[in-house]
Amino acid sequence: MSLREVFDKNPDRRYIMFGGKGGLGKTTFSAATAYWLAKQGHKVLVFSVDPQASLSDIFCMDIFGKGPVEIMPNLYAQEIDADKRIKEYQDEIRQKILDMYGMEKVPDEIEDYIQAAAAEPAMEESAIFDEVVDIVVGGQYDYYIYDLVPLGHALYYLSMASVYDQWIDKITALREEMEEYNKVAAVMKREKESEEDQILRELQDIKYRINKSSSILTDKEKTAFFFVVIPEEMIILDTQKAAGLFAKFDVPLAGYIVNRVIPAELANQEIPDYLRNRLAMQKKYLNKISQTFGDEVLANVPEFERDITGLPMIERVAEVMFGGGE
């Protein structure tokens, strides 16, 4: 099957991700797929949480932290600025403290604590997580293309979703038990809504958001996850391992795309030995790729003469991925 057929045959798969090790072409393929889908008349958002701002680079436009930016008709790109979100959290916490205690200014000790908490890596992860959930739950686009950071992180995200989920399940169950007692107490005290109720509602809301986002990511009907590989031994081995891990988290794999294939026709021309050797090496690993991943290989993308930036280059990549035409 070709990549195009996979899209044509599964019109309900609206969440698209490209996974793979660093620098293999995830952002390039995300942008090219977004471009192709937009040209087909779908409203597409391609987004990333990468602080390197690689979508800004590929589209040659500064979009970092600016929300969804229109790149061309139907095509929107968004780069999440986690630091900005953390600052918003901090402001929220400060405001809550001021409101709760009727203070004019947050005391220094508490301010120190707020600063220290923001530097925690967990804080950044959770800010990113929240932003992704907001985007995915939003639902304004026909297609969402999540330009992932290298593999380890994507796995971390998924494992975090499941850890979060279990944790919230536990707390929610406890809260629900407590609520029964509290309701009685609240009625007796003639309070409208007990404080416990509010916490429970907040937890249920978080749980809803996490369930919704992780169920989207693991739903075969709605999600397509593609792996990017290149014809090199270590990459093939790593990809096999990663595919195993993804299966463990129930992430549905839609297929593999091979990148940076040196055009085989070059062998018929007069070329230096250096290039001839590279061609022979790639031939060996391309065979290995087809033995290993078989008909799950959906496209071969050549090594271009330059890097992929700007819409005309993105269009060329989209053409080889999906075939020319409309």
- Residues of the shown chain interacting with Mg ion in the complex, contacts defined by CB under 5 A: 26-27, 54
- Residue 202 interacts with, from ligand ATP, Mg ion, none (CB under 5-8 Å by kind): none
Please list every residue from 306 through 325 that binds ligand ATP, using CB under 6 A.
307-308
Nearest CB to ligand ATP, comparing residues 23 and 107: 23
Q: Which stretch binds ligand ATP (CB under 6 A): 6-14, 19-27, 67-75, 185-193?
A: 19-27
Radius of gyration of the chain (CA): 24
50-58's contacts with Cβ under 8 Å and 24+ in sequence apart are 50/79, 50/147, 50/149, 51/81, 51/82, 53/79, 54/27, 54/147, 55/27, 55/30, 55/31, 55/79, 55/147, 57/27, 57/309, 58/27, 58/28, 58/31, 58/308, 58/309, 58/310, 58/314
Nearest CB to ligand ATP, comparing residues 44 and 168: 44
Among 210, 124, 230, smallest CA distance to 169 is for: 210
Which residue among 25, 49, 133, 285 contacts ligand ATP (CB under 6 A)?
25
Residue nearest to Mg ion as judged by C-beta position: 27
Question: x/- contact string, 112-151, with ligand ATP (CB under 6 A)?
Answer: -------------------------------------xx-
Nearest CB to ligand ATP, comparing residues 54 and 56: 54
Question: Which residue in the block uniquely carries the two structure tokens 């590989």?
Answer: 229
Three-state DSSP at 117 gives helix
Tell me the CB-side half-sphere exposure of residue 81, using CA atoms within 13 A: 12
Q: To the nearest 10°, the Cα dihedral for 83, 84, 86, 87?
A: 120
Nearest CB to ligand ATP, comparing residues 138 and 310: 310
Which residue among 26, 203, 236, 289 contacts ligand ATP (CB under 6 A)?
26
Q: Which stretch binds ligand ATP (CB under 6 A): 4-12, 153-161, 235-243, 300-308?
A: 300-308
Distance CA 75, CA 143 (A): 10
Question: x/- contact string, 241-270, with ligand ATP (CB under 6 A)?
Answer: ------------------xx----------
Closest CB 49 distance from ligand ATP, rounded Å: 11
Closest CB 150 distance from Mg ion, rounded Å: 8
Q: Which two tokens stand for residue 32?
A: 């090219």
Among 33, 118, 129, smallest CA distance to 75 is for: 33
Distance CA 192, CA 190 (A): 6
Closest CB 256 distance from ligand ATP, rounded Å: 14
Nearest CB to ligand ATP, comparing residues 107 and 152: 152
Residues β-bridged to residue 300: 258
Q: Largest Cα–Cα distance in the chain?
A: 92
Indicate left, alpha or beta for 48 from its phi (over 0: left) and psi (-120 to 50: alpha): beta
Nearest CB to Mg ion, comparing residues 20 and 231: 20
Size of the site for ligand ATP (CB under 6 A): 19
Nearest CB to ligand ATP, comparing residues 14 and 260: 260
- Residue 249 interacts with, from ligand ATP, Mg ion, none (CB under 5-8 Å by kind): none
> Cα–Cα–Cα angle for 241, 242, 243, nearest 5°?
90
By CB under 6 A, name the binding residues for ligand ATP: 20, 22-28, 50, 54, 149-150, 259-260, 301, 303-304, 307-308
